Structure 1
Amino acid sequence: MAAGGKRIRPRLLMGAYEALGGIDERVAVDAACAMELLHIALVIHDDVIDKDLMRRGEMNISGRFASEAMLRGTTRRDANAWGEASSLLAGDLMLTLAHSLLARLDIHDERRQAVLDVFDDTVFESAAGEHYDVWLSMRLQQATAQDVLAMVDQKTAAYSFQAPLILAAILAGSTTSVIDELTAIARRIGVIYQLRDDVLGLFGDERETGKSTISDLREGKETLLIAYARSDVAWAEVESLFGDSALSVADSRRLKRVIEESGALVFVESFITERCDEVYQLVQEAALPAALKSQLLTLTSACNSRVS
């Protein structure tokens, strides 16, 4: 689970800490590692919730443990239970280790308490976002664009972008005004990142993303694309296909065609562009070091243009 990846969160924390004048590299490294461990924990638990056995084209923890149990002769049901139990425990251990790293930082008690408060708030908000995501996927209510954006803000923006930036600012001794500016910027970048991820999940190149462009449709994943497409009259013709775990390739093409022809893809792309413009303006107006401004602008552009 920890191999590969872009290391967005630890790199963001390290870069921001240095740009804000932080000088204790050991403290920054430990905090950056804690952010990566939190990411791994949430990913592991997310796979359990989604009952996924694969991630990025390879077996995840559940898949590997389940496969091993199957080879030893147990039933598929018991093997899957063993895989899920292994993942839950692994995720719990990652969370505990992340918290331990932050609790042991060699910094003043007041600053350590502020760091731990941010971490606690981040875990709580991320869990709430995940919980909301599962609720929306049950389709007991029709998810609106506002519902989806609220979920994305909690599930992705909080831990992937806000937490690394705020922790870096706290550790570097930044002012409250700087923290407030970084919070506003981070939340918007997080939404850009997730909306691009959702677009790639349906219309990306599987060779680049390492992810099937059918899985989100089979899962019935509620995204801004889907929320918009529902407003089109043609959605009624394919609604029964959305969330079908046995969705065929041919039917997935029908679904994606309706989504695209509804104008959903154009709408989401324009929404991403608007959020990017907001971030660019906020960064330019913020009282932040030039190096950090450059980092945030580059990050925003990368989140928008990424293909994997």
Structure 2
Amino acid sequence: MLAATRASRQRRRPAPGPTLRDAGGAAGVCPMRAADRGPERDAVLRDFLDKGAVRSGLLGEPYQQLWSDLAGALSGGKRFRPALLVGVYRAHGGTDEHLAATVAAGVELLHTAFVIHDDVIDGDQTRRGLPNVSGAAAGRARAAGVDEAHANAYAQTAGILAGDLALVGAVRTISQCGAESATVSRVLDLVDQAVHASAAGELADVGLSVGIGSATIGEVLTMAELKTAVYSFVLPLQAGAVLAGSPEPVVDRLGDLGRLVGIAFQLQDDVLGVFGDEEQTGKSCLTDLREAKQTPLIAHARTTRQWPLIAPFHGNADLTQEQADRACALLEECGSRQFIEDLAHSYLGAALAIADEVGLPREFLGWVSTLTTGLLRSAA
């Protein structure tokens, strides 16, 4: 019975309305894929890490290890934020590939900073099954004979410091990109807005989880926009356009597009956080329920008659897989999963209209789909 329940949770369902793959054709192919100057971007990141490694060599072994952990956090990943920036830059006539790659590297550093800090806030010491910056530091502390409480304190310290280093590195990298001063200033304004928005969204996320606020669907969607959509989509889309010299009305509309796509992305990510396959998502399907995450999925479920049955599972730190399967079944029965997936599709449809308006190729969003491994894929 339990196996059947899991299969039901992860079954593939037809997606109503437009999807990112629909926008880009069967394969989501986009000419701008070639615009992601990966080698140049990675060369900028390597230069940042190499210079930091030289400095770390003068500051003792613990700091050398911290810098090495930061380098590990910067490795891998989809790199879709830098690719978005470079893709929009090229789509709007930009030709200085090194310039775009440098700013794209700064955006990736910013993302890394947020990921490291987010793990500290959530108390996570692993990412995709491997020790993250905090986890690596905790492991070294335990190996040195430090007790668990102090090892965790050391882990938090390492995560905070590594995130700070990446954040400063992001601003420094962008400020030295070589563009005209007015352009650099405009891009840094966008970065500043993204940092403020992400901080506000993270604070709201934790606040809702501990019972501050009403956790309505509207509040939760605003939190998702601030925490994820602004820095992951609005920033790279607008920065790419600014670097290409696009007029402000176009930059503004790209901001609207980024918010819509970013919220759709977060909505589906929340569904995957509960219904997804851990081997594919890299995240336990128990985490959001155990930590009482106030996602749109949960906000909708609160408005249904099944909520009294779901509530005991939400925030249960000892939640078992069998209990999680029961919670998932109830979330499907009350219509919350379908509601959130439909809402994601509606945001995407509005984003497609703006893409047409600002002259982005329709296959652009299909390309975004491949970069994010299928934004609106079913949790299978």
TM-score range, shorter chain: over 0.9
Q: Take 1:180 and 1:28, find their aligned partners in 2: how far apart are those partners?
A: 19
Q: Take 1:62 and 1:123, find their aligned partners in 2: how far apart are those partners?
A: 22
Q: How many residues align?
A: 305
Q: Take 2:121 and 2:148, find their aligned partners in 1: how far apart are those partners?
A: 18
Provide the aligned C-alpha RMSD in A: 1.5
**Per-residue deviation, 1:150:** 0.3
Q: 1:108: which partner in 2?
A: 180
Q: Take 2:206 and 2:212, find their aligned partners in 1: how far apart are those partners?
A: 11
Gaps of 5+ in 2: 1-72
**Per-residue deviation, 1:63:** 0.9
**Per-residue deviation, 1:237:** 2.8
Q: 2:222: which partner in 1?
A: 150
**Aligned match of 1:160 in 219, 232, 235?**
232
**Per-residue deviation, 1:300:** 5.3
**Aligned match of 1:201 in 273, 295, 302?**
273
**Per-residue deviation, 1:306:** 7.1
Cα deviation, 1:184-204, whole Å, max 9, x if unaligned, reads 111000001111111111111
Do the aligned partners of 1:10 and 1:33 also contact (CA within 8 Å) in 2? yes
**Per-residue deviation, 1:147:** 0.7
Gaps of 5+ in 1: none
**Per-residue deviation, 1:174:** 0.5
Amino acid at match of 1:253: D
Q: 1:94: which partner in 2?
A: 166
Q: Take 2:232 and 2:80, find their aligned partners in 1: how far apart are those partners?
A: 8
Q: Take 1:186 and 1:304, find their aligned partners in 2: how far apart are those partners?
A: 16
Runs (4 or more) in structure 1 with deviation over 6 Å come to none
Q: Take 2:87 and 2:102, find their aligned partners in 1: how far apart are those partners?
A: 14
Do the aligned partners of 1:280 and 1:297 also contact (CA within 8 Å) in 2? no
CA distance 1:253–1:289, shift in 2 (3 Å): closer
Q: 1:121: which partner in 2?
A: 193
Q: Take 1:10 and 1:178, find their aligned partners in 2: how far apart are those partners?
A: 19
Question: TM-score if structure 1 supplies the norm length?
Answer: 0.95
Q: Take 2:378 and 2:87, find their aligned partners in 1: how far apart are those partners?
A: 20
| Identical amino acids, percent of aligned pairs | 40
**Per-residue deviation, 1:61:** 0.9
**Aligned match of 1:288 in 331, 342, 359?**
359
Do the aligned partners of 2:275 and 2:379 also contact (CA within 8 Å) in 1? no
**Per-residue deviation, 1:133:** 0.5
- Is 2:289 the counterpart of 1:220? no
- Of structures 1 and 2, the one with the larger relative CO (CA 8 A, separation 6+) is 2
Amino acid at match of 1:241: F
Is 242-251 or 262-271 further displaced after alignment?
242-251
Cα deviation, 1:193-243, whole Å, max 9, x if unaligned, reads 111111111111122112111111011111111011112222213313311
Q: Take 1:140 and 1:165, find their aligned partners in 2: how far apart are those partners?
A: 32
